[in-house]
Amino acid sequence: MALIEAMIIVADNLHVIQPAIAKAVQTLDPAPIRELALRCIQAGAQALDINSGPLSKMPQERMRFLVESVQTVTDLPLILDTTNATAMAAGLEACRGRATINGFSLEPAKIERMLPLARQFDADIIGYLLGANSQVPVEADEMMAVAVALFEQYTQAGLDPARLIIDPVIAPLSWQEGARHNQAVLKVIAGLPDLLGTPVRTIAGLSNLATGRLPLERKITLEQTFLPMLAAAGLDMVLTNVLHAPTLQTARLCDQLLGDRIFA
Amino acid sequence: MALIEAMIIVADNLHVIQPAIAKAVQTLDPAPIRELALRCIQAGAQALDINSGPLSKMPQERMRFLVESVQTVTDLPLILDTTNATAMAAGLEACRGRATINGFSLEPAKIERMLPLARQFDADIIGYLLGANSQVPVEADEMMAVAVALFEQYTQAGLDPARLIIDPVIAPLSWQEGARHNQAVLKVIAGLPDLLGTPVRTIAGLSNLATGRLPLERKITLEQTFLPMLAAAGLDMVLTNVLHAPTLQTARLCDQLLGDRIFA
């Protein structure tokens, strides 16, 4: 038995889906990026996910710009979130601290182009529990099978299991099988250490839960209700909108309730 | 695998610790009892716990009065909550519907005086995971050992496992080992069906979590954070202050998130 640490809160706010961020990337203006990063840190972020999108134009310059802009205001760990391997490599090179690649899956292109970057840049890497054709498994059994296959790909690449972070992929509740899928996610988080024979870390994107036209208050209460379930299952890192103050309060209460979590 | 039903919400509000209820019991005035029962039902209670205290004076008359007063306004299932076996018998006799005895433990007096009432009145009964001297076990292993001993006492009395409800006893967070104890509670709720080889029901008293001088808002947010953990562990019934509206909202969201919970 080993004590495991409190859940780490990763901001998902630095995302090109935000118009201010998209514009800042286009014009290479660091101010809006610095400002948002600082707001996230003030809100309680312990790591920052930088979601640059695919960056079809100037991928290296733009990802480097994003990383450097954030690094002018913080030394927090960064998670680089793009499907563009060229942008990913440039971003990893720009990271001063330990960085995390977000991410790879059983999709052949990801295994061929993303996984090698973990070794090349000595980075942690997030592995998604998606099938080879990017479909989302519904049942816990299928997710477990994907986790085993993903773990094999990872270790066959000669990488250290301690540097892998598995993301079982929270589904929107609006999906027909969303609730069932998310219950399976809880089982998988709790069951992975036994399944893989090693205490592999887990991350989950809480903002996926309540998408679309739901009122903000409803989204937040859904986050506040699912987060304790994830925490009790043993989730190590939560990727979330840190500007949802009640959700962050819930994260802190989870730590109070599960502060000395024991990993059996 | 069988589908299990949504978590049942049991009001713990009808309690002689409330001055209005204590006075109503002394003067045999049904109005305050009816009024509070109706408020609980409007708030979403699906069953009512009637906590009469030990009723050292006129136990039969007073418990009968409590049950009858509540039954003038509702047919919801009643849970009778007293350490006084004479009061319990009188209350069970007065119940029109299926009643629940709250409760027994390994304490010899409880086994001798409470357990037989379950057979005599064809009632469900709550069994507490407390040691024979009423001490509270801290670790999951100890709780599991108590659960096995309790289940043996119960089945040796010739009673049906489907009528037993186990309460693993939530501890106040203010206790030194409160958080650790409550983490063990989650493990025990999830592990009991496998341990006992039967899908025995569980109940937990959420109001125990945050006691004493904490601000009400803090108590409620703690309830809102621990309840989803209990629900995800598979809790069947939650005994709670149903007038805490945000807590009830959380209970409903738990059902939305775990609505088609699968009992493996």
Residues A3-18 pLDDT 10s: 456 899 999 999 999 9
> Any chain B CB within 8 A of the CB of A216?
no
pLDDT at res. B5:
65
pLDDT at res. B132:
85
Say what angle helices A216-233 and A178-196 make with each other, to 10 degrees.
20
- How far is the C-alpha of A240 from the C-alpha of A9, rounded, in Å? 7
CATH code for position B108: 3.20.20.20
B183, B232, B250 ranked by CB distance to A258: nearest: B183
Residue B4 has pLDDT above 90, yes or no: no
Residues B205-256 pLDDT 10s: 999 999 888 999 999 999 999 999 999 999 999 999 999 999 999 999 999 9
- How far is the C-alpha of B120 from the C-alpha of A38, rounded, in Å? 67
B183, B229, B259 ranked by CB distance to A229: nearest: B229
B240 is a domain residue: no
Mean pLDDT of chain B: 94
What percentage of residues in chain A have a pLDDT greater than 70? Answer: 96
How many CA within 13 A on the CB side of residue B142?
12
Q: Using CA of residue B25, residue B26, residue B28, residue B29, what is the dihedral sign?
A: negative
First-residue to last-residue Cα distance in chain A? 5
Subunit contact B250:A221, Cβ cutoff 8 A? yes
Residues A114-128 pLDDT 10s: 999 999 999 999 999
Which residue in chain B is spatially nearest to A219 when comparing CA positions?
A: B253
A129 with A167: CB under 8 angstroms?
Answer: yes
- How far is the C-alpha of B24 from the C-alpha of B18, rounded, in Å? 10
Q: What is the 3-state secondary structure (H, E, C) of A30-51?
A: CHHHHHHHHHHHHHCCCEEEEE
Q: How confident is the model at residue B173 (pLDDT cuts 50, 70, 90)?
A: very high
B214 is a domain residue: no
> Any chain A CB within 8 A of the CB of B232?
yes
Residue B260 has pLDDT above 70, yes or no: no
Between residues B137 and A235, which one has the greater pLDDT?
A: A235
Subunit contact A257:B180, Cβ cutoff 8 A? no
- How far is the C-alpha of A224 from the C-alpha of A227, rounded, in Å? 6
Return the SS3 of B201.
strand
Subunit contact A225:B183, Cβ cutoff 8 A? no
Subunit contact A225:B229, Cβ cutoff 8 A? no
Q: What is the 3-state secondary structure (H, E, C) of A171-207?
A: CCCCCCCHHHHHHHHHHHHHHHHHHHCCCCEEEEEHH
Nearest CA distance, A127 vs chain B (angstrom): 25
Residue B200 has pLDDT above 70, yes or no: yes
Distances (CA, A) of A208 to A9, A101, A105, A178, A196: 15, 19, 18, 10, 26
Looking at the 3D structure of chain B, how many domains does it have? 1
Subunit contact A256:B183, Cβ cutoff 8 A? no
pLDDT at res. A134:
82
Domain that holds residue A190: 2-263
Interface with chain A: mutation pick from B186, B188, B229, B260, highest number of A CBs within 10 Å? B229
| CB < 8 Å to A256, chain B | 173, 179, 222
A97 with A132: CB under 8 angstroms?
Answer: no
Subunit contact B221:A253, Cβ cutoff 8 A? yes
Subunit contact A183:B262, Cβ cutoff 8 A? yes
- How far is the C-alpha of A164 from the C-alpha of A148, rounded, in Å? 13
Q: What's the mean pLDDT in A61-65? A: 98
> Any chain B CB within 8 A of the CB of A256?
yes
Residue A2 has pLDDT above 50, yes or no: no
> Any chain A CB within 8 A of the CB of B228?
yes
B173 with A248: CB under 8 angstroms?
Answer: no
A179, A231, A258 ranked by CB distance to B260: nearest: A179
Q: How confident is the model at residue A161 (pLDDT cuts 50, 70, 90)?
A: very high
Subunit contact B254:A221, Cβ cutoff 8 A? no
Residue A56 has pLDDT above 60, yes or no: yes
B135 is a domain residue: yes
- How far is the C-alpha of B101 from the C-alpha of B176, rounded, in Å? 30
Residue B197 has pLDDT above 80, yes or no: yes
- How far is the C-alpha of A71 from the C-alpha of A94, rounded, in Å? 9
Task: Using the structure block, give the residue that is written with the tokens 């104890």.
Answer: B181
- What residue spans of chain B are helical by DSSP H? 19-27, 31-43, 59-71, 85-94, 108-113, 115-120, 140-156, 178-196, 216-233, 245-258
- How far is the C-alpha of B34 from the C-alpha of B92, rounded, in Å? 19
Residue A262 has pLDDT above 50, yes or no: no
- Name the residue among B98, B181, B91, B110 with its Cα closest to residue B139: B181
Q: Using CA of residue A103, residue A107, residue A113, residue A119, what is the dihedral sign?
A: positive
A226, A260, A262 ranked by CB distance to B228: nearest: A226
Q: How confident is the model at residue A168 (pLDDT cuts 50, 70, 90)?
A: very high
Element (H, E) at A245: helix A245-258
> Any chain A CB within 8 A of the CB of B2?
no
- How far is the C-alpha of A71 from the C-alpha of A78, rounded, in Å? 9
Residues A90-143 pLDDT 10s: 999 999 998 999 999 999 999 999 999 999 999 999 999 998 888 888 899 999
Q: Reduced to 3 DSSP states, what percent helix, strand and coil does chain B have, rounded to the nearest 5?
A: 50, 15, 35
Subunit contact A228:B229, Cβ cutoff 8 A? yes
Q: Reduced to 3 DSSP states, what percent helix, strand and coil does chain A have, rounded to the nearest 5?
A: 50, 15, 35
B224 with B250: CB under 8 angstroms?
Answer: yes
- How far is the C-alpha of A89 from the C-alpha of A98, rounded, in Å? 14
pLDDT at res. A233:
96
Residue A257 has pLDDT above 60, yes or no: yes
Amino acid, res. A80: L
- How far is the C-alpha of B170 from the C-alpha of A34, rounded, in Å? 45
pLDDT at res. B176:
85
B70 is a domain residue: yes
Q: What's the mean pLDDT in A68-85? A: 97
Tokens of A36: 């948002």
Neighbouring residues of B201: CB distance < 8 A, sequence distance ≥ 6: B164, B165, B166, B236, B237
Residues B92-143 pLDDT 10s: 999 999 899 999 999 999 999 999 999 999 999 999 999 888 888 889 999 9
